[in-house]
Amino acid sequence: MTALIVGKVNIVGGGIAGLLAAVELARGGAQVTVFEAAGGLGGRARTRQADGYSLNQGPHALYLGGAFRRELKRLGIPFSGGRALASSRKAIWKGKLHELPFNSKALLRTGLFGIGDKIRYVALLKTIVKGVTAEGSFAHWLDAQKLSPVMRSSLEALGRLSGYANGPQFMSAQAILDQIRMALGGTLYLDGGWSTLVDGLANAARESGAMLHAGARVEQVIVEGRRSRVMLADGSAHEADATILAMGPNEAAALAPQVASLQVEAREAMPVKANALDLALKRLPDGAQEFALGIDGPFYFSLHSGSAKLAPEGGAVVHVAKYLPTGTGPERNAIEELESVADLVMPGWRALEVKRQELRGMVVSNGLPRWDRARPSVTLADAPGLFIAGDWVGDEGMIADTAAASAMKAAEAVGQWLAIAGVARAA
């Protein structure tokens, strides 16, 4: 953003979308105020720090080729970490561990596929890496490949791992194949967890003059002519030339019930949910695996402290998760199920547990990229001056990359809106 932005901007929501937009707009010259309902900034990117352990809210990896990393780099936000490169990676199939075919050596060794499937798997991955054009749902694309049951399940698992979503019949084939291609390019686990990104963004926003208020719940947003006003739970009102709602679609729709397009988006958005068991261990038990992916069940297991500084010397941080099928919520035995995955992959862990965090039906993303409907853009035709950002907005990427890309597009749209307002004022 090069031209100077003149005007006041309210941003509701202090997650990474709200913070990225705040940095961009404040650096551009706008007077920015962020209102965050929770006691701290960061939303789902917050990390729980305790006794030298850093526990993200479920497993979090930064995609090397994604929009979030691109924008962090462009804005000069510091972070460090290690590539998610476990030396041993397993597939869970019929209750047993097999080699996960993540490279040619593992593919040769794995008992998961017969020789015909091994050749087909390599060919399919090559096609995906080159870039595929696909229409319809991911399930439809998989049907068309006419795969053996284990190959189909393996590709579904790769889709779940890459896009964090378990809804092949709803998900756009193009979006998930692009996401798999990007994920194969590598991901980073971050030293100190994703809170380091939140802190870096908050510092950058403050240094540029933005006001960041945590514990400030907005109850209503009113758009009047060219101005908008946010009403806080404490009774105060804050007027601005533009407002960005950087939160989920249901929360945004509830704040502005008069905006019909937001009500439609809230109804149509398909949230992606997961259960997670985040474990801080005294040490990794002998014989534990570092990574495992469910092939016939939607499970994930990974030692994050193997690549990033997340635990004190000798300690370990492990994330176990279940990708919930689209449209379903957590089962009664959500945590027991994850514990038994941990029993299979790292027997002996229970005696070494120091701390845990249990997440049931956590929203990973507010908007699955559907094959039959585009996600909304950052501008709302029926509410000029009101903008949206988050992991359900815009056509770029998935999860945090969508949040980051939409935040930047919202900041750009606000800049254009304020430029037009400036011209109108001057005339």
Binding site for ligand FAD (CB under 6 A): 12-18, 35-38, 43-45, 57-61, 68, 164, 217-218, 246-247, 251, 255, 274, 276, 362, 364-365, 390-391, 399-401, 403
User: Is residue 297 within 8 Å of residue 92, measured between CB atoms?
Assistant: yes
| CB 37, min distance to ligand FAD, A | 4
| CB 414, min distance to ligand FAD, A | 16
Residue closer to ligand FAD (CB basis): 120 or 191: 191
Which of 249, 255, 251 has the alpha carbon at shortest distance from 270?
249
| CB 198, min distance to ligand FAD, A | 9
Residue closer to ligand FAD (CB basis): 66 or 124: 66
Residue closer to ligand FAD (CB basis): 68 or 93: 68
- Helix/strand/coil for 212: strand
Residue closer to ligand FAD (CB basis): 120 or 251: 251
How many C-beta atoms lie closer than 10 Å to residue 105's C-beta?
10
User: Is residue 71 within 8 Å of residue 20, measured between CB atoms?
Assistant: yes
| CB 320, min distance to ligand FAD, A | 11
What lies within 8 Å, CB to CB, of 416 at 6+ separation is none
- In angstroms, rounded to a whole number, what is the distance separating the alpha carbons of residues 77 and 60? 18
Residue 233 to residues 15, 17, 35, 230, Cα–Cα distance (Å) = 19, 22, 11, 10
| CB 366, min distance to ligand FAD, A | 7
| CB 263, min distance to ligand FAD, A | 16
Residue closer to ligand FAD (CB basis): 298 or 390: 390
Please name every residue paired with 227 in a beta bridge, in sequence order, or none if there are none: 224
Residue closer to ligand FAD (CB basis): 83 or 217: 217
Helix axis angle for 173-184 and 115-130, nearest 10°, is: 100
